[in-house]
């Protein structure tokens, strides 16, 4: 019996634990920890969760995604209450590991995630299901950490050149009079 359990225990210890937990934290999905922040509903568990992910996309844009265990999938329209203001967001599918990307062209949702207090969300087709509550406490810091490396890299042709000032010829020297004609 002990011999049969040893490989199972080794296998469990060797595999990474993907824990979905309430609140804002780095994304536990493989390869997403340094580029995405995940905020999950207060009643989220590993088997039943509703989360919003703020992610640095491959093109260095910022994407807001919905990630849930909803049976019908995450695409469609989502009704959200953002600090007592109701909004509806449409989604699109993309190559990210999350359910669907929320359309946020004006950046309202991203701004509310960073600076708001709470979000209630519900899929528009699930009028019978309760809204899921996501507390935004800690979201500002978590999103800032995820988007830290999201700034696009500047190609060499657009970088600032080194200054062309020769300090010996063009600047005054300490404790000496200024060169003639500079005043």
Residue 108: inside a domain = yes
Residue 157: inside a domain = no
* Range list of β-strands (E), 18-137: 23-26, 36-40, 50-56, 62-68, 77-82, 85-92, 100-102, 118-123, 132-135
Residue 77: inside a domain = yes
Q: Which domain holds residue 30?
A: 18-150
Residue 126 contacts by C-beta under 8 Å, 6 or more apart in sequence? 70, 72
The stretches of the chain forming alpha helices (DSSP H) are 2-14, 108-115, 139-146, 167-170
Categorize the per-residue pLDDT at 155 as very low, low, confident or very high, splitting at 50, 70 and 90: confident
- Check which CATH number belongs to the domain holding 128 and give it: 2.60.40
What per-residue confidence (pLDDT) applies to 165?
62
Number of domains in the chain: 1
- The alpha carbon of residue 141 and the mean position of all alpha carbons in its chain are separated, in whole angstroms, by 10
What per-residue confidence (pLDDT) applies to 59?
84
Categorize the per-residue pLDDT at 14 as very low, low, confident or very high, splitting at 50, 70 and 90: very low
Residue 181: inside a domain = no
**Can you state the angle between helices 139-146 and 108-115, rounded to 10 degrees?**
120
Looking at per-residue pLDDT, the higher value among 25 and 156 belongs to 25
Separation CA 175–CA 3 (nearest Å): 84
CA atoms within 13 A on the CB side of 8: 5
Mean pLDDT throughout 165-173? Answer: 60
Mean pLDDT throughout 135-142? Answer: 93
- Please report, for residues 154, 156, 160, the alpha-carbon distance to residue 164 in angstroms, rounded to integers and kept in the order given: 21, 18, 12
- The alpha carbon of residue 57 and the mean position of all alpha carbons in its chain are separated, in whole angstroms, by 9
Residue 34: inside a domain = yes
Residue 16 contacts by C-beta under 8 Å, 6 or more apart in sequence? 30
Residue 29: inside a domain = yes
Residue 2: inside a domain = no
- The alpha carbon of residue 69 and the mean position of all alpha carbons in its chain are separated, in whole angstroms, by 19
Separation CA 52–CA 114 (nearest Å): 12
Residue 123: inside a domain = yes
Phi and psi dihedrals of 59, rounded to 5?
-95, 15
């Amino acid at each position: 019996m002990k011999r049969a359990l040893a490989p199972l225990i080794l296998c469990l210890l060797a595999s990474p634990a993907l824990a979905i937990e309430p609140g804002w934290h780095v994304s536990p999905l493989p390869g997403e920890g340094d580029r995405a922040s995940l905020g999950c509903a207060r009643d989220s568990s590993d088997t039943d969760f509703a989360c919003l992910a703020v992610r640095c996309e491959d093109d260095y844009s910022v994407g807001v995604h919905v990630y849930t265990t909803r049976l019908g999938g995450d695409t469609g329209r989502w009704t959200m209450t953002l600090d007592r203001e109701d909004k509806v967001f449409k989604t699109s599918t993309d190559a990210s590991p999350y359910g669907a990307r929320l359309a946020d062209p004006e950046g309202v949702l991203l701004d509310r995630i960073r600076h708001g207090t709470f979000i209630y969300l519900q899929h528009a087709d699930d009028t019978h299901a309760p809204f899921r509550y996501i507390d935004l406490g800690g979201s500002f810091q978590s999103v800032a950490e995820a988007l830290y490396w999201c700034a696009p890299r500047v190609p060499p042709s657009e970088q600032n050149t080194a200054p062309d000032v020769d300090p010996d010829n063009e600047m005054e020297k300490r404790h000496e009079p200024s060169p003639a004609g500079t005043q």
